[in-house]
Structure 1
């Protein structure tokens, strides 16, 4: 299928051929008939992409700080590679889509095949959208009109925050498409509306809707205009839908407001507020968030948990429904805003001049018939007779930033991603033969020896078992499992299944040159190991904290150091106790100390903290044994005390990824076993699960063989 994408590094907009998405639980699959180009939002993305690195940095100072922090901990070269890789990833454009439902996922009961719906899907021939971001279209509303649903909801949400009453005077600053829709919705609400813009054509459209207009380029002073109109009282409310980098608009909004008036920002303007202007009038200022309540809330958008109507009257989906009802009633008329209708194949007629275009609304028209493909071939590469042929399931950050660079030169036949775009981009960049949205295509292919799994954590165990049962060697990024039952099933497979297959988990730290040097220096004597992970803060609403999806950061990341200590001690964990500073809503934690007792008498302490300074090293390991001490700082410097012939080892940052994948591929090609003993993998995972259980029980938990 075809999809419009943009490269943030170059600003290039392309019509890409990507595999069609599969329908997911809680979602619907839609074949697109129309999509609306949001010229304001999409123009900003295109202009950002075309800017040089310095200008990009100026536009995102908060990201610059993150980059500088990463330089301090990881070094300049890895940081620049990460930044450029991030910018190279194409992003989907568009969020105003209309089409017909062609598949319905599990847990969706109120949408049927063939229904016409509006959604926030991108400019693509087929989109997969969560149920709460989809609204059925009334029969009397055309596809062209319905394409305005989502962008109309953006203006509607700003109005809901303003909460105007019948007869109030409201100013809309900026009469782009969102501004025009907002002004018209305010008129429907019984308000006297003033529209401010520099474009006479837009002002003419507004006047046709009964909106009073003010054009500063014609000598109109917006503040004086509003004050004269209101008899010196000022506007009851100001909605800013404009895009500007200076602070003049927010200042003018304050000056034209009445005492205790309200200002709501929908657009993007400078926000250097004058305290005096806001203080003297006791003004209220608020920023509107997209389509309404539920936006960016995974529980609402991705898991379909609606907010109860008696307590949250207007959610983003109910705002969608309101716009569609207004269109059906004829109260909202969007037809005058349609400037052009362009076939999808001629998309560049819009994007080629997006920086200078004076159009209001551009609609993309999609073909009625299309060939649905879930796998796309990028190169004709023969794999017959080769050993170690790889298929990758998952095309997220780990795959892009770590796995693929480490696999340079490997025979990679497939990469699978849920939406098709990320996998296709990586396939083109790294010379992968095929991209797919059907991961089972990889499992069915007899030429594939090794499957690499890098999806979200809750899929790791089930995908691992499915791949093993299809006769594939498996590498799965940590954690191996997030529940004991999953781990038990994997253990059962190896006790009862095919011993010729190998399983490897992404415990890469043991493959670092520093870890291998430590192991050689320490020998087999019992030891005390203290590992500290200065992990850094991750927002509480991130999926990694969700016990059912990410498992929490202890399961997802602290397991690295349980495995490392197991490797150094040459023993296995027999008991675990964990204490935490606090827990997240899903009862996970990322501020904890884990005590480990090993079978050979060694002890381990893992301090996993998210509340430390970013200026301090991210990872530090201390080992004490037989009057000797080793200090490993961030896998760059290893310092020894009390060792004959060794004092220091320095390297660029090396956490062992490349070496792990080298050994893994060699093992698969030779038909050997996993680079990490299976019993170590199982013991480390059990120990991590025991740490979580220990926190719940507030006691030591034994780690036995199940």
Structure 2
């Protein structure tokens, strides 16, 4: 299928051939017939992509601070590589999609094949959208009219926050696409509506719909005009839909408001608010969040958990339905807003000049017979009879930044890569010189030339995909963790034994040059080890904290350090105890200390903390043995105390990925795993035991 993307590095807007997405549980697969180009929002993204690095930095000062902090902690080169990796990931454009349901995922009951629907899908011939972001289109609403559903919902949510009553005067600042829809909805709500914009065509359009509209560029003072129109009382509410960096807009909004008026921001403006403006009138100010309640809530959007209508009357989906109903009943007329309808193949007519005069809403039209392919060819390579041919499942940020570069450096033979959406697989296939990209990972399992599967998906998919790959006769490299519970571990162990295939987990730190140097200098025998992970705060709503999806950060991330301690100890864990910060610790924590007893007498403590400063080293390992002390600081320095002939060595940041992938490629050909499977099982059990210890308040034997 074809999809419009924005190249953030080069600045090009491209129509890309990508794999068709697969329908997933809780979603519907839609064949697109129309999509609306949001000239305001998408123009910002396109112009950001075209901007130089300095201009990009100026537009995102918060990101610049993150980059500087990363430079301090990890060095210049790794930071530059991370920034360029981010810019190399294309951005899919569009969020106003209309089409016909082609397939319905498991658990979806409100849609069936053939339904006409509107959603927030991208500009693509097929889109896969969660059920709560899709709404049925009434029979008397055309596809082109329905393309305004999402845009209309953005304006509608601003109105709901403003909470206007019949007869109130509401000012709409900015009469672009969202502003015009907002003004018309307010008028349908019984409000006196005043709107203004510097584009005379948009002012004339608003006036034709019965809106009191004016152009400040013709000499009219917005504040004085509104006060004049309201008998010096001021507006009851101001909804700002404009896009402008000036702070003057928020100042004028306050000036034209009545005492205790409401100011709602839907657009993007400068927000250097003058306290006196809001203090003297006791004004309220609120920023509207996109389409309405449920937006950015993973439980609502991705898991399909609806808000009870008795408590949350208007969710984003109900706002979609309300807009479609308004169009159906003639309360909202969007036909005059359509400037042009352009075939998808001629997209550059729109994107080539997004600032052209006279454009309000541009609509892309799609062919009835779309090219529906789950796998696309990217390069032409042959793998007949070769060993060590890899297929990759998962095309996220870690795959892009670490796995692909590492595998390229190891001269690995990569044939196919999969991602559910298809676009990221195509992008990384091109980056990694991978032959094929697919949206169906089953294609990799069925490929007879692929003998090794790399799994880099979210944690809850690691176990089932590992088992599937083993049963398909493939070796498996899976990013940590191996699995999330004992049952999954037992099933993996059984599948590995029955199919006589290797299972390796991406415990890369044992392969870091400084870790291997530390082990050699420590010598044999029981040791004391203190490993500290200054992990950093991750908001609780992020998926890694979800026990069903991510397993929590101890199982999902601290397992790295259990394996590292096992490597340094040269022994297996026999008992685990864990304590976490807080009076009433919960089973899901990211501030904890783990104590490990090893069979050879080694004692290890892992401090996994999320409440430290990012300016401090992220990782630190101390090891003590035979009157020697060795300290690794952030994988850049190793210091020795009491070590004959050694005091310090320094390297560039190296967490062992490069050597891990080199050894992995060699091991697949030789049949000798780079980490013994019994050690992987022991580490995995130790991570489970840490959680059990926290819950039960005792040592847990492995």
TM tier relative to shorter chain: over 0.9
Corresponding residue for 1:99? 99
Q: Is the 8 A contact 1:547 1:587 kept in 2?
A: no
SS of the counterpart of 1:407? helix
How many residues end up aligned between the 2 structures?
700
Q: Is the 8 A contact 1:214 1:225 kept in 2?
A: no
* Shift, 1:351, TM fit: 0.2
**Quick one: distance in 2 between partners of 1:574 and 1:165?**
69
Corresponding residue for 1:193? 193
Corresponding residue for 1:297? 297
SS of the counterpart of 1:296? coil
- Structure 1 range deviating more: 128-137 or 209-218: 209-218
Q: Is the 8 A contact 1:47 1:355 kept in 2?
A: no
Q: Is the 8 A contact 2:522 2:624 kept in 1?
A: no
* Ranges in structure 2 where 5+ consecutive residues have no aligned partner: none
* Shift, 1:10, TM fit: 2.1
Q: Is the 8 A contact 1:174 1:195 kept in 2?
A: yes
* Shift, 1:65, TM fit: 0.7
Corresponding residue for 1:275? 275
Q: What CA deviation, in whole Å up to 9, does each residue of 1:433-492 have, x standing for no partner?
A: 000011111111111111110000000011111111111111000000011110011122
- Structure 1 range deviating more: 519-528 or 286-295: 519-528
- The structure-2 alpha-carbon separation of the partners of 1:448 and 1:689, relative to structure 1 and needing over 3 Å to count, comes to same
Corresponding residue for 1:573? 573
Corresponding residue for 2:495? 493
**Of 400, 409, 417, which aligns to 1:415?**
417
**Quick one: distance in 2 between partners of 1:48 and 1:699?**
54
Corresponding residue for 2:85? 85
**Quick one: distance in 2 between partners of 1:552 and 1:649?**
35
Corresponding residue for 1:378? 378
* Shift, 1:585, TM fit: 12
- The structure-2 alpha-carbon separation of the partners of 1:583 and 1:258, relative to structure 1 and needing over 3 Å to count, comes to farther
Corresponding residue for 1:688? 687
Corresponding residue for 2:462? 460
Corresponding residue for 2:440? 438
Q: Is the 8 A contact 1:547 1:586 kept in 2?
A: no
**Quick one: distance in 2 between partners of 1:696 and 1:124?**
48
Q: What CA deviation, in whole Å up to 9, does each residue of 1:560-582 have, x standing for no partner?
A: 11000000101111111111125
- The structure-2 alpha-carbon separation of the partners of 1:32 and 1:586, relative to structure 1 and needing over 3 Å to count, comes to farther
**Quick one: distance in 1 between partners of 2:407 and 2:136?**
46
- The structure-2 alpha-carbon separation of the partners of 1:92 and 1:237, relative to structure 1 and needing over 3 Å to count, comes to same
* Shift, 1:586, TM fit: 8.8
Corresponding residue for 2:485? 483
Q: Once superposed, which parts of structure 1, at least 4 consecutive aligned residues long, lie more than 3 Å away?
A: 355-358, 582-587
Q: Is the 8 A contact 1:420 1:435 kept in 2?
A: yes
Corresponding residue for 1:207? 207
TM-score (norm 1): 0.98
Corresponding residue for 2:539? 539
SS of the counterpart of 2:268? coil
1:308 aligns with 2:313: no
Aligned CA-pair RMSD:
1.2
Residue correspondence of structure 1 range 244-259 to structure 2 within 5 A: 244-259=244-259
Corresponding residue for 2:602? 602
Q: Is the 8 A contact 2:172 2:183 kept in 1?
A: yes
* Ranges in structure 1 where 5+ consecutive residues have no aligned partner: none
- Structure 1 range deviating more: 682-691 or 519-528: 519-528
Q: Is the 8 A contact 1:534 1:612 kept in 2?
A: yes
* Shift, 1:372, TM fit: 1.0
SS of the counterpart of 1:323? helix
Q: What CA deviation, in whole Å up to 9, does each residue of 1:396-442 have, x standing for no partner?
A: 01100000111112111001011000110111122110000111111
* Shift, 1:498, TM fit: 3.0
Residue correspondence of structure 1 range 162-241 to structure 2 within 5 A: 162-241=162-241
Corresponding residue for 1:592? 592
Residue correspondence of structure 1 range 552-567 to structure 2 within 5 A: 552-567=552-567
* Shift, 1:359, TM fit: 0.4
Q: What CA deviation, in whole Å up to 9, does each residue of 1:373-394 have, x standing for no partner?
A: 0000111211102111111000
SS of the counterpart of 1:249? helix
**Quick one: distance in 2 between partners of 1:585 and 1:82?**
35
* Shift, 1:587, TM fit: 4.6
**Quick one: distance in 1 between partners of 2:38 and 2:507?**
44
- The structure-2 alpha-carbon separation of the partners of 1:273 and 1:585, relative to structure 1 and needing over 3 Å to count, comes to farther
Q: Is the 8 A contact 1:340 1:362 kept in 2?
A: yes
Q: Is the 8 A contact 2:587 2:694 kept in 1?
A: no
TM-score (norm 2): 0.99
**Quick one: distance in 2 between partners of 1:491 and 1:694?**
24
SS of the counterpart of 2:601? coil
Corresponding residue for 1:393? 393
* Shift, 1:697, TM fit: 1.4
**Quick one: distance in 2 between partners of 1:582 and 1:318?**
40
Corresponding residue for 2:151? 151
Q: What CA deviation, in whole Å up to 9, does each residue of 1:24-72 have, x standing for no partner?
A: 0000000000000000000000111111111111111110111011101
**Quick one: distance in 2 between partners of 1:87 and 1:460?**
28
SS of the counterpart of 2:46? helix
Q: What CA deviation, in whole Å up to 9, does each residue of 1:92-144 have, x standing for no partner?
A: 10000000000000010110110000000000000000000000111111101
**Quick one: distance in 2 between partners of 1:202 and 1:584?**
59
